[in-house]
Amino acid sequence: MICDQVRPFIDRLPAREWTREMRAAITKHVGSCTRCKQALEAVTAMEAEILALPEIEAPGDMAEAIAARIAELPAPVQATEPVPKPSPFKDLRPWAALAPGALTAFAASLYLAISGGQTPELVNAKPMGGWLERMAEMQHAGPGVYVLAAGLVLFAIGLFALPSTDNA
Amino acid sequence: MERDAVLSVRSGDRNAFGRLVALHQRRLFSLTMMMLKNAAAAEDIAQEAFVRAYTHLDRYDAERPFYPWLAAIAVRRAQSWMRRHGRESVELDPEAEPAALDDPLEMLVTSESGRTLWDAVEALPAAQRTAVFLFYRQDMRLADVATALGVTGGTVKTLLFRARQTLRAAIGPENQESHP
């Protein structure tokens, strides 16, 4: 490493924030560069002086004053568990509410489309291609109709369950 | 010990909070005193921070150190106090001039070099001064300093860099020589 690479780390980044690799590179460089070594020593000395500055005592009655103020307050809300971190999948939750309904409806529609091929004469004879009539009259489609209805209901519930974007 | 105290308070033992106060009151008072340079206000803000920490203890993540959370509360209260009283803001303002205020802390600094350094620390803009104090004196991580100040980690690095430049110039002009 050369001075121009090392010096920004010495000047700009506190030593505590150096990575192991940075520290190794800087240590190696200052072993052979007097000027960078002096710069590092100056920064280190300054940091040590800041640390050595005295700390003042809190007022003697501060703890009692805090205890007196707390005594007048209700007990804090109990929360023995740590605060949960936000889920990285948070943004996907609204769509997860819709997914079961949509999947069920899709599966039922697929089933009906396949089963419907057994009664082709009804398709062209009725409004909407005879879709409703076909569903009602097809013996094989009975369970599929119920599943489709359930899927549509689930989808509708999912739509209502979507949280408002105002709270996001 | 700290975590046990927090859990005890959450379980209804409000006296356990006294252990947290005993552990951190000196450190917190030093912080508010450094920020406000007014003993009465510093004590009031430190007390406020403890009381607020008590009432909002349910929001504290007991898996993390208590002090950075407490210090963040205190810094925000101190910032509000300074805004209310027309003093310099701790919010990022690199051009802000330091306020000329009373300095009871200076009396504690006895050595010549220490006094020079303390004068230089005091002369820093409030944001830099607070960042230096939290990072170097209170041994807080960069991320925690950023949270306390309400800025990004990059901003804290910039604040520390500018503060170090100023302090190095103040305590040793020979350190400011440019490198070829």
- Residue B81 touches partner A, C-beta closer than 8 Å: no
Three-state secondary structure along A59-125?
Answer: CCCHHHHHHHHHHCCCCCCCCCCCCCCCCCCHHHHHHHHHHHHHHHHHHHHHHHHHHHCCCHHHCCC
- Give the one of B14, B39, B61 whose C-beta lies nearest to A75's C-beta: B14
Query: Tokens 């007048």 label which residue?
Result: A72
Contacts of B79 (CB under 8 A, 6+ apart): B89, B90, B91
**Least confident window among A116-130, B3-17, B110-124:** A116-130
Query: Distance of CA B20 to CAs A91, B2, B67, B135, Å?
Result: 38, 7, 9, 21
Give me B39's structure tokens.
Answer: 């003993």
- Give the one of B47, B117, B172 whose C-beta lies nearest to A69's C-beta: B47
Mean pLDDT for chain B overall = 82
The mean pLDDT of B54-71, rounded to a whole number, is 91
Note the pLDDT of residue A142.
Answer: 63
- Chain A and chain B share a number of CB contacts under 8 A equal to 140
* Residues of chain A positioned with their CB less than 8 A from the CB of B171: 46, 49
Q: Do B26 and A56 touch (CB under 8 A)?
A: yes
Q: Do B39 and A59 touch (CB under 8 A)?
A: yes
Alpha-carbon distance B177 to nearest alpha carbon in chain A (angstroms) = 9
A86-110 pLDDT per residue, tens: 566 655 666 676 777 778 778 777 7
pTM for the structure as a whole: 0.63
Note the pLDDT of residue A163.
Answer: 54
Q: Do A80 and B18 touch (CB under 8 A)?
A: no
Alpha-carbon distance B100 to nearest alpha carbon in chain A (angstroms) = 20
Q: Read out DSSP for B110-127?
A: -SHHHHHHHHHHHHS-HH
- Give the one of A36, A49, A80 whose C-beta lies nearest to B117's C-beta: A49
Q: Do B22 and A63 touch (CB under 8 A)?
A: yes
Residue B38: count of CB within 10 angstroms of its CB: 19
Closest CA to B102 of B36, B151, B150: B36
- Residue B47 touches partner A, C-beta closer than 8 Å: yes
Q: Do B18 and A67 touch (CB under 8 A)?
A: yes
B122 against A84, higher pLDDT:
B122
Alpha-carbon distance B70 to nearest alpha carbon in chain A (angstroms) = 14
Q: Do A58 and B28 touch (CB under 8 A)?
A: yes
Mean pLDDT for chain A overall = 74
B113-144 pLDDT per residue, tens: 667 778 888 888 888 999 999 999 888 999 99
Q: Do B63 and A82 touch (CB under 8 A)?
A: yes
